[in-house]
């Protein structure tokens, strides 16, 4: 790897390094938020930092690196970026809906008053039927 990198231009190295450090820092901030927030509905927002700009920055760094080092356009890493960007909202929405369903079914105090009263009214409607 070293003989391949020694003729690497300095501006490209700085660009790749900046994108790498930016992406991994955002992924780390997202993981810290995942570990430190108190309720599930706060926690589910934190990892999206890692999947939006974290994945974007690291994929961008990889694309710049391989494009410069192989001196041809290499952008197949963009597949990862598109896939992560498309699938993350789907998974998090399904997970949030499952958590809300479970919390409502158990009448969990994590939910606010409004959500609990709404759940109570639907339960009442079910009982009336």
Partner 1 sequence: MSSTILLWAISISQSFLAIAMALAVYRMFIGPRAQDRVLGLDTLYVNAMLLLVTFGIRSGRTIYFEASLVIALLGFVATVALAKFLMRGEVIE
The residues binding partner 1 (CB under 8 A) are 1-2, 4-6, 8-10, 12-14, 16-18, 20-21, 23-25, 27-28, 30-32, 34-35, 40, 43-44, 47, 50-51, 54-55, 58-59, 61-62, 65-66, 69, 76-77, 79-80, 83-84, 87-88, 90-92, 94-95, 97-99, 101-102
Q: Which is nearer to partner 1, 32 or 118 (CB)?
A: 32
Q: Which is nearer to partner 1, 119 or 128 (CB)?
A: 119
The distance of closest approach from Cβ of residue 129 to partner 1 in the complex, given in angstroms and rounded to an integer, is 21
Listed in sequence order, the DSSP H helices in 1-129 are 2-6, 10-36, 40-43, 48-49, 55-69, 78-106, 113-128
Rounded alpha-carbon distances, angstroms, from residue 73 to 58, 65, 66, 102:
17, 10, 8, 48
The distance of closest approach from Cβ of residue 122 to partner 1 in the complex, given in angstroms and rounded to an integer, is 16
DSSP 1: -
Whole-number Å distance between alpha carbons of 58 and 88: 17
The distance of closest approach from Cβ of residue 112 to partner 1 in the complex, given in angstroms and rounded to an integer, is 18
Write the burial class of residue 61 (CB in 10 Å: 0-12 exposed, 13-18 middle, 19+ buried).
Answer: buried
């Amino acid at each position: 790897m070293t003989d391949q990198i020694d003729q690497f231009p300095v501006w490209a190295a700085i660009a790749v390094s900046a994108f790498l450090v930016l992406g991994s820092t955002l992924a780390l901030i997202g993981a810290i938020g995942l570990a430190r927030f108190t309720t599930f509905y706060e926690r589910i927002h934190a990892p999206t930092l890692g999947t939006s700009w974290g994945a974007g920055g690291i994929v961008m760094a990889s694309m710049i690196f391989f494009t410069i080092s192989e001196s041809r356009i290499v952008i197949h890493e963009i597949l990862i970026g598109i896939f992560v960007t498309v699938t993350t909202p789907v998974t998090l929405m399904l997970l949030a809906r499952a958590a809300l369903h479970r919390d409502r079914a158990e009448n969990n105090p994590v939910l606010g008053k409004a959500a609990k009263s709404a759940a109570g009214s639907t339960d009442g409607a079910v009982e009336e039927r």
